[in-house]
Amino acid sequence: MFDYYAFLGSTRQCTERGSLSSGFVDCCSVCYYSEDKNKARSFYMKYAQEVLCQIPEDLKFTQSLARIPDSNWLGFEISFTLKTPWYSKDDRVFHVLDNPVRKDRVFGVPYQSASTWKGLLRWACRMESGLVGYMEKTGMRFEGWKDPEWVSYLFGNERSQQKDFQRGSLVFYPSFFDKIDFEVINPHDRKTRAGTQPIYYEVVPPETEGKLQLLYAPYLGVAEPKNVDVNEALNCLLTATERLLTVYGISAKRTSGWGTTKIRSWKTLQTGKDPIEESSLNLFKNKLKVIFETRLGGELDGKQSS
């Protein structure tokens, strides 16, 4: 057969078990459209709660920031545990559920993309820079807002900006989760006060552990900007990161409280030096300050000797 879904419909069985891969999801979806919707949905939900979502370690999808090419680069790892469900809608158009969580197509592992992390953290940095006050003055309009120089230095310019375009000095990595559960929202009729039709959301459940990884990688051989204190910029970034993870949330439906976390540890890695890890953000910032003071002192000594 040349029609993939016709082939799946003719087999009437899900052969690709062991993960929530595209093949398994497509098998359930064929049953959803051709037979019993509730039966196919129940089968998928039962299996998704039992399977452990993991990418084979041999593929090394999780980045190791312990081997950084340049000594001026810094790797950051923020380990956290979800306090509330995490959800990001998948972009599949053919699925047994109406609200599937975003997953890797091959291995079926839930993940937060690098681009999503960048967008969320840029927004959190803007919030820390006074975006709320600006929008209150402009009638809740974003037009005319200009990012502070430290935000542009870390994240780069918006894609729509053509003049003086620059790449940011931060590199982001995806975050993977290993569990799946389901939440149900049941809207009620205002007159009868009875449930109408339950809405299922596939989510990553609370108590699931995750890790945010990012790399501070400025252009090699290019001097740091004169109007930006890099240590202060990274301090502001870390403050915004803490607010994002613990207050704002990193999930869709953040206004409902989804996606808040508890931070377990802050860690930085640098070539040729031992990792620095702290559970307190203030202690972590103090040690980060020492790194920049040491590096600045080394640069001054080099200039004097030359």
Distance CA 87, CA 183 (A): 10
Q: Which pLDDT value is given to residue 147?
A: 85
Using left for φ > 0, alpha for ψ between -120 and 50, and beta otherwise, residue 26 falls in alpha
Confidence of residue 78 (pLDDT cuts 50, 70, 90): very high
Q: Which pLDDT value is given to residue 300?
A: 35
- 95-99, 210-214, 231-235, 262-266 — which is least confidently predicted? 95-99
**In this model, does residue 176 exceed pLDDT 70?**
yes
Q: Which pLDDT value is given to residue 170?
A: 93
| Tokens describing residue 187 | 């809207």
Distance CA 185, CA 46 (A): 18
| Tokens describing residue 148 | 């502070």
Whole-angstrom CA distances from 4 to 9, 26, 158, 179, 296 are 9, 10, 40, 29, 61
**In this model, does residue 208 exceed pLDDT 70?**
yes
- 126-130, 166-170, 214-218 — which is least confidently predicted? 166-170
**In this model, does residue 44 exceed pLDDT 80?**
yes
Confidence of residue 298 (pLDDT cuts 50, 70, 90): very low
Buried b (16+ CB within 10 A) or exposed e, 43-67: bbbeebeebebebeeeeeeebebee
By the 8 A CB rule, do 130 and 137 touch?
no
Percent of the chain with pLDDT over 70: 78
More confident residue, 121 or 148: 121
Nearest to 73 by CA among 217, 173, 169, 213: 217
More confident residue, 83 or 168: 83
Distance CA 217, CA 220 (A): 8
| Tokens describing residue 263 | 């931070």
Q: Which pLDDT value is given to residue 295?
A: 64
**In this model, does residue 248 exceed pLDDT 90?**
yes
* Residue-wise pLDDT tens digits, 80-136: 999 999 999 988 877 888 889 999 888 888 999 999 999 999 999 999 888 888 777
Q: Which pLDDT value is given to residue 301?
A: 42
Nearest to 235 by CA among 133, 298, 154: 154
